[in-house]
């Protein structure tokens, strides 16, 4: 029973990490000087495993939430709405890609490992759905309460880009 509970927590954390890596990769691909931080759980760096790979620094713990942010925005040119849009879309795209890839891989691997990979795929699909739908997270979600989902960010950024495009025309 304890093993199953630990496995579920790790599976959820891995699925969220895939999602947050999508945001981070979107940021660093848009600017050669950009660096991104991924936090699992709160923004605290205490009691977390710190791991740096390239221009992405991870602050890892077992968690039901995570987020990504630029670690050096003051060193970069002003961020455009198009860049924000690409970054906001990066998370859901990574979750969807993770689902498709891991789902097919899970059918090629037998045993417990195949089952675990399948569960990461299923949770990645759930992460995609819950982040791509436009809404504001409810307050009972500790670290996310009051924040916009990626879908709502994307929708608002598209409206803003469209508004500025009409003004410029």
pLDDT at residue 152 above 80? yes
pLDDT tens per residue across span 100-131:
999 999 999 999 999 999 999 999 999 999 99
Tokens of 31: 């600017």
**pTM of the prediction?**
0.93
- Helix or strand (DSSP H, E) at 135: none
Quote the pLDDT of residue 165: 77
Average pLDDT, the chain: 94
Annotate 95-117 with DSSP letters as a single string.
HHHHHHHHHHHHTTS-HHHHHHH
């Amino acid at each position: 029973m304890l093993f199953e509970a630990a496995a579920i927590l790790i599976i959820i954390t891995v699925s969220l990490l895939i999602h947050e890596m999508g945001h981070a990769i979107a940021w660093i691909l848009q600017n050669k000087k950009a660096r991104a931080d991924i936090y699992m759980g709160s923004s605290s760096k205490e009691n977390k495993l710190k791991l740096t790979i390239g221009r992405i620094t991870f602050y890892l713990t077992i968690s039901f939430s995570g987020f990504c942010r630029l670690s050096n925005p003051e060193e970069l040119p002003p961020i455009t709405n198009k860049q924000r849009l690409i970054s906001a879309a990066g998370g859901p795209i990574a979750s969807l890609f993770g689902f498709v890839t891991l789902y097919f891989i899970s059918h090629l691997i037998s045993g417990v490992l195949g089952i675990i990979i399948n569960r990461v795929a299923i949770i990645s699909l759930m992460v995609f759905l819950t982040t791509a739908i436009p809404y504001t997270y409810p307050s009972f979600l500790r670290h996310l309460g009051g924040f916009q989902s990626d879908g709502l960010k994307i929708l608002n950024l598209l409206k803003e880009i469209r508004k500025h495009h009409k003004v410029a025309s």
